[in-house]
Chain A
Amino acid sequence: MESTIQAATHAPAAGHEELGFWRKYIFSTDHKVIGIQYGVTGLMFLFFGFCLMTIMRWQLAYPGHPVPIVGHLLYRVLGEDMVGKDAAGNVGVMMPDLYNSFGAMHGTIMVFLAIVPLAFGAFGNFVTPLQIGAPDMTFPRVNMVSYQFYFLGGVLMLASFFIPGGAAKSGWTSYSPLATVADMGQHPNGQTFWIIGMVCLISSSLLGAVNFITTIIQLRAKGLTWMRLPFFVWAQFVTGFLLLLAFPPLEAAAVLQLMDNLLHTSFFLPTGLVVSGQHLHISGGGSPLLWQHLFWFLGHPEVYVLILPGMGIVTEIIACNTRKPIWGYRSMVYSVLTIGFLSFIVWAHHMYLTGMGTRVATFFQTTTMMISIPSVIILTALFISLWGASMRFNTPMLFALGFLPMFGIGGLTGLPLGFNASDIHLHDTYYVIAHFHYVVAPGTIFALFAGIYYWYPKITGRFMNEFWGRVHFALSFMCMNLVFMPMFVQGMAGMSRRLYDGGATYAAQDGIVGLSKYVLGLNVPISHAVWALGLSQIPFVINFFWSINRGKKIASDNPWQATTLEWQTPTPPPHGNFEGPVEVFRGPYEYSVPGHATDFIPQNEPPTPSPVPNGNPVRS
């Protein structure tokens, strides 16, 4: 079929009044605008969270030395409690409290303010309704409110850096009682801001999840049966359920911790708690483990919230650029559903070291091994999809291909953490850091980059620059591995993940067993790789803004010659998306169908009755 060429110049569909600036861009109810809002905000938080880490990496590589470039600024803004002086009197040394704050906030921002909003909020919002042939989300105003909750949560988190005592500093997991007794004299303290910020983010995710699931159930176009849904939509569907059902227990936990912090209850504080030699006047009787159970009941499904949308994006891009149907589509769908279910019963593998008993540990070890099976099925199906394809190696495809081995490394290195025997050694070391960053950073973030390069033409009507895209990919791919691969070595040598001085305190000395010079020395090249990774994003940032007005114009509404419905709309899609009623006649990945004139058949192309030469009718 010939694509309708209406690029960029398309006028808004009849019957839509032009909206003013505020209604159109700030308080919009259009899923595409909200998706872009999520995307831009999420990218800014991604950048901010990364900046926190670049500063922390200085402290790890050169402990006690003043931070260059920003050290003085930090001193001015955050005060001398947070930023100190070195022996020579130079200002700009990170104090332990600041390091802890940055660590906790790096995790919180990356997970809850960057990746989830990008993967679910941005791509989910922009692409899902288009891919199912819907005019918008089922509840457009709820959609707007969910973005506003997210924004408010982000503002609270950022504001907490500037209050007395600084931002939350008890890790992104906010384990009690540490989270309650840190900054106890200060009210409201960073932890209180963290909790209230989290409640906003949770509310945002809940509203979003209700909206997404309802949209996918109710607004699928005529003929778009469940097994004709693009895999991306399936991934978003399962992600929605994970958010819907896993986040409320964290909300409960947040309420309980807020009670502990503000109303002096003892939900998570045990009897006889002593802090800095002082016996606390609390009622006691609480359970620190309760917080961990409630937190990880969210925490583990959250891992799949981070990865499933990434898998969805990669699947779309691989199908389109291999010009082949996805191998084992149905197996992938059943796998993603299985992951969704199993992810609710693996949480305590984060808690093997709490002494919960071998029977319970065995249960969670078993479920953890089970959940690796569907993950491997999905990854294997994607790898086999590459087999024998004449691939188009464009930037989105490069990032998607980069995702596969990186996620593979991240996933497989998780197995030793899932076994409770080996986890005892690896728990809370840099091995864990390396493992989950391989899943999320070169995994999910690469998928997000792939998605940005892939759907950018649909949003703006222009391609991003191909050459600089490839440069961005090559440099990022290299740096990501230089950052995270050595951390496996450090972790296996036993280096704890939460050391302010990068482990120097535990250095081996004459007659004292400790971290070897080699292991400690790795901190320096890792930090250099982190800063190089930061510089590698410059081509992307410039490309991203430059291409909005100067990128190569698309020649048709379907520039990648893809089959799914989002490419069958005008570019950019108007309010209401499609020009007429949409009807779907076939599965999502009908590429290179034998006997067909083109090597792709859009889902909404009606079946042709003419038989092919061997007498079989064309598959429809």
Chain B
Amino acid sequence: MEIPYAVKPRPDTGLYNAKVGIWLFLASEVMLFGALFCSYILLRVNAPEGLWPHHWLNIWLGMTNTIVLIFSSVTVVLAWASLKMGQFNRYKLYQGITLLCALTFLAIKSVEYRDKFIHYKVVLSDGRIADGHLQKAETTLPVSWRLQPVIVDGHLQGGGQTATNTGRLVLEGWWPNDEAALMNPPLGHETQRIEIPVKQIKFMENYGPWHNTYTAIYFTLTGLHALHVVAGAIVIFAIWGPLAKVWERDPERYINRVEVSGLFWHFVDLVWIFLFPVLYLL
């Protein structure tokens, strides 16, 4: 049994089946990310005056990732166009670059994630706030990056362990005057080496998703986007590598597959083009 219009377009719609399917799927993806962006707007509008974070992310890394993804969108189109012209080797090259771009994007993203997990806000018992990246922890407290290492009054939350009030932490950071300063750190502020005796810590927490609604929506949006990057890269790789034989047997079907996976890839890029200004710049 042959499904009609699996490869050739149906005359009255001008589309083959998978193309209709992918556009419908992308419509649902728009609703998925649309709902998350709406959540972002609502959380931000609800935040108390002056307590929405700015400049918490590295704009240059974000910018690099934006360029990487836009570049990969170009190579996806070039790959498809090469196939249309029958140049399989050039397709292989271009789509290989696309895959490299995907890996680069994910690598940069994980550097940014790690940066958040070793970044701590520490409130001292005298009320001062220290903020910076953990360099060294000479203590029995498990404060390396993990799920929610929150310390309140010397007790580790969640784990049920009691901290030994000895040892010290070393941060590379600064002393914001208050919460508002922490939310809106001056661009390019000086950092210094900060040593904190553990017994002075009233509260400390890293910048994981649990830190506040900004980090929560940041990790959710970029995490879901990263999953889409991974999924898109796997599909593109499957067509590029293991399924490349289809090109000899049924070139038209192969080109369709490349086109459909390319449409998905463009969508993933488009989401990032919204994410970058929303999370990094605004």
Contact = CB atoms under 8 A, between A and B. Distances in A.
B152 interface: yes
B15 A285 contact: no
B222 interface: no
A30 to B, nearest CB: 9
B193 interface: no
Given A206-B28, A290-B42, A294-B39, A283 B147 contact: no
B1 A16 contact: yes
A612 interface: no
B88 interface: no
Interface stretch (A48-56, A109-117, A255-263): A255-263
Contacts of A286: 43, 213
Given A265-B209, A267-B39, A576-B1, A218 B20 contact: yes
B3 A245 contact: no
Contacts of A139: 17-18, 21
A219 B29 contact: no
B108 interface: no
A402 interface: no
Contacts of A135: 1-4
B48 to A, nearest CB: 8
Contacts of B4: 134-135, 218-219
B204 interface: no
A248 B29 contact: yes
B177 interface: no
Given A219-B4, A290-B39, A206 B25 contact: yes
Contacts of A252: 32-33, 35-36, 39
A138 B24 contact: no
Given A248-B35, A263-B208, A267-B213, A136 B28 contact: no
B210 interface: yes
Question: Which one of B42, B152, B158 has the greatest number of beta carbons of chain A within 10 Å?
Answer: B42
Contact size class for A? Answer: 35 or more
A287 B46 contact: yes
B5 interface: yes
B28 A210 contact: yes
Contacts of A229: none
Given A140-B3, A211-B21, A263 B210 contact: yes
A213 B18 CA distance: 12
B246 interface: no
Contacts of B150: 281
Given A218-B13, A247-B28, A290-B42, A283 B211 contact: yes
Nearest to A13: B1
B154 to A, nearest CB: 14
A248 B42 contact: no
A217 B208 CA distance: 46
Contacts of A265: 209-210, 213, 216, 220
B251 to A, nearest CB: 21
Interface of B: 1-6, 10, 13, 15, 17-18, 20-21, 24-25, 27-29, 31-36, 38-39, 42-43, 46-47, 147-148, 150, 152, 157-158, 208-213, 216-217, 219-220, 224
Given A138-B6, A209-B28, 12 more contacts: A135-B1, A138-B21, A252-B33, A255-B224, A256-B220, A263-B208, A264-B148, A264-B209, A265-B209, A266-B213, A266-B216, A283-B216
14 contacts: A135-B2, A138-B6, A210-B21, A218-B10, A218-B15, A218-B17, A248-B35, A252-B32, A259-B216, A263-B219, A266-B213, A285-B213, A287-B43, A576-B1
Interface of A: 16, 134-136, 138-140, 142, 206, 209-211, 213-214, 217-219, 244-249, 251-253, 255-256, 259, 263-267, 281-283, 285-287, 290, 293-294, 297, 575-576
